[in-house]
């Protein structure tokens, strides 16, 4: 697995343990609620467990925007997708651009269908996934057929 250039501002950087930076994203209660509907923030042990889980199930990247790490994205072997963009970098269309690259990566690796679970209250993520072509099942599941 290698880094992937999304565009002139965004690169997907192959995952490596960088908890000093990434823990900051998961210290925001709103982001944690968007990600997994939890009321609390992550501690270091939970962050390490999450990254170990995701890294073992697919391609895990940090999102680097204009030279700074600002989130992470994972494409699992089964087509499940998870993406987090830290609050200071939200609403810059980073997620849309990253998901375009994830769709290309899935196509290259033979994955035929992508899936994302998005909570009903997370309208920001729902709009982002819909903008790149994901379709809702009417509940929390979104799909993209390649």
Instruction: Evaluate whether 102 touches 114 at the Cβ level (below 8 Å).
Output: yes
pLDDT of residue 138: 87
pLDDT of residue 100: 97
Mean pLDDT within 46-51: 96
- pTM beyond 0.75: the answer is yes
Could you tell me the pLDDT band of residue 139, with boundaries at 50, 70 and 90? confident
Token couple for 61: 């990247």
pLDDT of residue 141: 96
| pLDDT tens column, 20-40 | 999 999 999 999 999 889 999
| pLDDT tens column, 122-137 | 999 999 999 999 999 9
Q: Is residue 78 over pLDDT 80?
A: yes
Q: Is residue 1 over pLDDT 90?
A: no
Three-state SS annotation for 105-132: HHHHCCCCEEEEECCCCCHHHHHHHHHC
Q: Please, what is the average pLDDT of the chain?
A: 96
């Amino acid at each position: 697995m290698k880094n992937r250039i999304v565009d002139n501002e965004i690169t997907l950087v192959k995952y490596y343990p960088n908890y000093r930076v990434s823990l900051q994203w998961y210290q925001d209660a709103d982001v944690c609620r968007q990600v997994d509907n939890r009321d609390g923030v992550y501690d270091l042990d939970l962050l390490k467990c999450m990254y170990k889980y995701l890294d073992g199930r697919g391609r895990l990247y940090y999102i680097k925007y204009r030279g700074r790490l600002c989130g992470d994205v994972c494409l699992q072997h089964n087509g499940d997708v998870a993406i987090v963009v830290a609050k200071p970098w939200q609403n810059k269309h980073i997620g849309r651009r990253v998901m375009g690259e994830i769709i290309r990566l899935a196509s290259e690796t033979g994955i035929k269908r992508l899936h994302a679970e998005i909570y009903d209250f997370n309208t920001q993520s729902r709009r982002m996934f819909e903008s790149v072509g994901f379709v809702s099942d009417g509940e929390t599941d979104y799909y993209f057929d390649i």
